[in-house]
Amino acid sequence: MEPTREQVRAAPKVLLHDHLDGGLRPATVLELAREVGHELPVGPDADAEALGTWFAEAADSGSLVRYLETFDHTVGVMQTAPAITRVARECVEDLAADGVVYAEVRYAPEQHVEQGLTLDEVVAAVQEGFDQGVAAAQANGTPIVVRQLLTAMRHQARSMEIAELAVAWRGRGVAGFDIAGAEAGFPPTRHLDAFEYLQRENSHFTIHAGEAFGLPSIWQAIQWCGADRLGHGVRIADDITVKDDGEVELGLLASYVRDKRIPLEMCPASNVQTGAATSIAEHPIGLLTRLRFRVTVNTDNRLMSRTSMTDEMTALVEAFGYGLPDLRWFTINAMKSAFLPFDERLAIIDGIVKPGYERLISG
């Protein structure tokens, strides 16, 4: 039996790949833009609905580079500590209201220093907002655990600094590191020194790879840089052949990713917008799930992709006929792959995820 949208919303969900600067409420962008004098691409009379539509349509471009241009209008209004704290608090409130019980939310500190904040002040402002959001969600009866991932922009040259920042903030709300931005032309090995440093420090990191560029990017992320997880990784499907008789053949890299249980942070709606997949129904997540890769389901950018965890999972239910046990599998995959200590992961799996699905399945 396919779950209803309301059941999907009620199910405990785990989110590993969500950008803070890709998840603002349209109304908040409008208000902050007015406060700081940031010029938006919509007319002065546009309301939140119209601005939300602008983001979704502008991002629906078939190109990652054009998709990323829309972030000028979110990053542009996140340049002061109060603005950043507000966005971070609302992010947690929105995720908790959507039934997310654990989230790792990422952003690039280096993009929030235009008006004089230090990198450290940016991380502190986000943490303040996360703490406020967690307290509000707890009071609301929808408890959530949230961690930051610090992203370095792959076309810039600050990855070592950001990696050091992630290590300095370890244990104070930051669980790991990431690189993002335009993929083609900016291979992860450009930042090898940062990844080697993180490994020496026993830190965790994920790398956006195999989204707008193919197998070489995934190969470098894993075999040169040592990524714990892959951001997107959809193009791993290029290394899988499905023959006419249905037999499946995995290339060496695809085998490695599956054998080592390397988590794939899949973001179906975002991939359709950037052209990494033609539709949800044709998204490689179907094949990869069937082949039992370590697949996880994520939102990427809730504003630009007009999505939520409930939307992503509901779309998968509609496209592939998944039931609650499948959604539980994605969720446990994600929780197993989180950058939290093992005992804390287990506590969420056994104490929250499994009983939550059990109630829905038996009820």
Ligand X SMILES: O=c1[nH]cnc2c1ncn2[C@H]1C[C@H](O)[C@@H](CO)O1
Q: Which residues bind ligand X (CB under 6 A)?
A: 19, 21-22, 64, 68, 71, 75, 106-108, 111, 151, 180-181, 208, 211, 270, 300-301
CB of residue 120 to ligand X, shortest distance in Å? 18
21 is in an annotated binding site: yes
Q: Is 70 or 337 the residue whose CB approaches ligand X more closely?
A: 70
CB of residue 151 to Zn ion, shortest distance in Å? 8
**Count of other CB atoms within 10 angstroms of residue 249:** 11
Q: Is 127 or 301 the residue whose CB approaches ligand X more closely?
A: 301
Which one of ligand X, Zn ion, none is in contact with 73 (Cβ closer than 5 to 8 A by kind)?
none
Count of helices and strands (H, E) across the chain: 17, 10
What is the distance between the terminal CA atoms of the chain, rounded to a whole angstrom? 13
CA-based nearest residue to 132, from 77, 175, 84, 93? 93
* 239 SS3 class: helix
Amino acid symbol at 301: N
> Residues with catalytic annotation?
211
Of all residues in the shown chain, the one whose CB is closest to ligand X is: 180
Which one of ligand X, Zn ion, none is in contact with 107 (Cβ closer than 5 to 8 A by kind)?
ligand X
19 is in an annotated binding site: yes
Q: Is 154 or 204 the residue whose CB approaches ligand X more closely?
A: 154
Q: Is 3 or 76 the residue whose CB approaches ligand X more closely?
A: 76
By the rule CB under 5 A, 265 interacts with Zn ion:
no
Strand partners, 242: 248
CB of residue 146 to ligand X, shortest distance in Å? 15
CB of residue 179 to Zn ion, shortest distance in Å? 10
Q: What is the DSSP letter of 247?
A: -
CB of residue 321 to Zn ion, shortest distance in Å? 27
CA distances (Å), 307 to each of 32, 55, 64, 225, in order? Answer: 22, 12, 17, 31
Q: Is 226 or 275 the residue whose CB approaches ligand X more closely?
A: 275
Half-sphere exposure of 298 (CA within 13 A, CB side): 33
- Pattern 6-45, binding to Zn ion, x per CB under 5 A? ----------------------------------------
CB of residue 323 to Zn ion, shortest distance in Å? 28
CA-based nearest residue to 64, from 226, 305, 254, 313? 305
Which one of ligand X, Zn ion, none is in contact with 129 (Cβ closer than 5 to 8 A by kind)?
none
Q: How far apart are CA 310 and CA 9, in angstroms?
A: 5
Q: How far apart are CA 42 and CA 30, in angstroms?
A: 10
Q: What is the DSSP letter of 40?
A: P
Q: How far apart are CA 263 and CA 258, in angstroms?
A: 9
By the rule CB under 5 A, 300 interacts with Zn ion:
yes
Stretch that binds Zn ion, among 33-41, 94-102, 293-301, 355-363 (CB under 5 A): 293-301
Give exposure, 201-214, as e/b (b: 16+ Cβ within 10 Å): eebbbbbbbbbbbb
DSSP 318-330: HHH---HHHHHHH
CA-based nearest residue to 53, from 21, 76, 30, 78? 30
Q: Is 91 or 254 the residue whose CB approaches ligand X more closely?
A: 91
Residue ranges for the known binding site for substrate are 19, 21, 181
Q: Binding site membership: which residues? A: 17, 19, 21, 181, 208, 300
Annotated binding-site positions for Zn(2+): 17, 19, 208, 300
The contact set with Zn ion (CB under 5 A) reads 300
